Amino acid sequence: MFSVILAALDSAHQKPVSKGISMYYMAHEVASTFLALLLLEDALDWRFLTHCSASEFAQWLRRVVLHMRLGTLKLAGDQKPSQISA
């Protein structure tokens, strides 16, 4: 899942941003957003995603990641970027 999010972030921005993203802060952002979505599940209808082609889903995901707060996900100081193993 993190690889998909990082790829979407790079795709949505004019220059690659994934190298400077902290996996710790990314995990926190995903977890907190997931909990919020669970609370809103009755209010939101996510069924439209089941009808999306791969291309449509990728376009939707690019629009979503443009709203991520990159400043809260950046690596601190001299930390080296984490490597994600597939």
Domain boundaries, the chain: 2-72
Determine if the pTM surpasses 0.75: no
Crossing angle of the two packed helices 54-65 and 2-12, in degrees rounded to 10: 80
Instruction: Write the CB contacts of 76 (distance below 8 Å, at least 6 apart in sequence).
Output: 22
pLDDT digits (tens, 9 = 90+) for 42-64: 666 777 888 999 999 989 888 88
Look at residue 17 and tell me whether its pLDDT is greater than 80: yes
Q: Under a CB-based contact definition with an 8 Å cutoff, are residues 10 and 17 in contact? A: yes
